[in-house]
Amino acid sequence: MHRTVSLLLAALVTALLATMMGTAFAQPFPSKPVRIMVGGGAGSVSDVRTRWLAQRMGVVLGQPVIVENKPGAGGNLAADFVAKSAPDGYTLFLAHMGVLVAPEVYAGTSFDPLADFAPISRISHGYGILTTRADLPARSVDELIALAKREPGKLNYGSTGIGTPPWMAGELFKRHAKIEVTHVAYKGGGELLQDLMGGRIDYWLEGALIQMPHVKAGKIRALAVTAPQRLPFLPDVPTLREAGLTDFEFEGWTGLVAPRGTPPAVIEQLNAAMRKVLTSPEAVAWLAEQANEPLAESPEEFAAFMKSERAKWLPVVKGAGVKAQM
């Protein structure tokens, strides 16, 4: 009798546990906060833009979307962390062009930039500004190039690390201008900007988001933009093509990716949340102020773009001849 009761109780407990486990696994996504890992430091363009997106995605998803900064190795520490995270949609990475060439830039890279991530969508694409310290004796691109050629290696430019978009833009500029300059790496754009305004570095190429207030205040000087046409909010600043670098064009972008193996249904839900935010009039207006345009594309479109972007930048990166350590 007692044995029969014990067996019945055991069966009931097993059934109850199975039901509880099934309920847990059947919880709709998201049932807890989602986090986005950003490879740039606090105050960088990527950080500010991701926090803006995260706040609005959280409203759409019904769960907080938290931004965590993990700077270092050009954003590849954050990329590596996410690539090795659980493929459940709760840990995402803010991707940029630099991560796509990580194996060629950083020795010891343990992730494949195409195979180890599930693309969700790009956030935006846009252009940057070539700015200098306010007291640099060069008021045009021609004068900057001439100054660099008079004293090879003396001028320096800043970036947020080898392999990041500002570094890639700086290397592209160096290549087109045929100059020798020194690269200075920073962990974040905020620190870099302070050194530019303080006269400790000479120039950099970066997005308009964190530069424009200081350009308007006269604390740094805008020499050119990387767009094919002049920007509406900088009508007197020429493009680099106008300045004589006829083949120069630099278009930056950012996007969200998840670890490989994340369920397609979760990817689609994240993509839908991004689309809702990025197609809003608020997003269009806010990004336009930064010479950026929102992108609401499918995961398949983003995957194809990442493949073509890697092929595009490999020659530039190999030409730089840099191999850093993670």
Q: Mind listing the pLDDT tens digit for each residue in 67-121?
A: 999 988 888 999 999 999 999 999 999 999 989 999 988 888 999 999 999 999 9
Helix, strand, coil percentages in the chain from 3-state DSSP, rounded to 5? 45, 20, 35
Give me the chain's average pLDDT, please. Answer: 89
Domains of the chain by start residue, with CATH = 34-125+253-325 (3.40.190.150), 128-225 (3.40.190.10)
Question: pLDDT (tens digit, 9 = 90+) per residue, 181-201?
Answer: 999 998 778 889 999 999 999
pTM: 0.80
**Cβ-based neighbours of 184, under 8 Å, separated by 6 or more:** 156, 157, 158, 159, 195, 201
Q: Cβ distance 71 to 65 under 8 Å? A: no
Range of weakest confidence among 53-57, 91-95, 257-261, 317-321: 317-321
> What are the C-alpha distances in Å from 35 to residues 29, 31, 42, 176?
13, 13, 15, 39
Ordered DSSP codes for 194-251: HHHHTTSS-EEEEESTTTHHHHHTTSEEEEEESSSS--TT-TTSPBTTTTT-TT----
231-238: which pairs have CB atoms within 8 A and are 24 or more residues apart?
231/127, 231/291, 233/208, 233/289, 233/291, 234/129, 237/129, 238/141
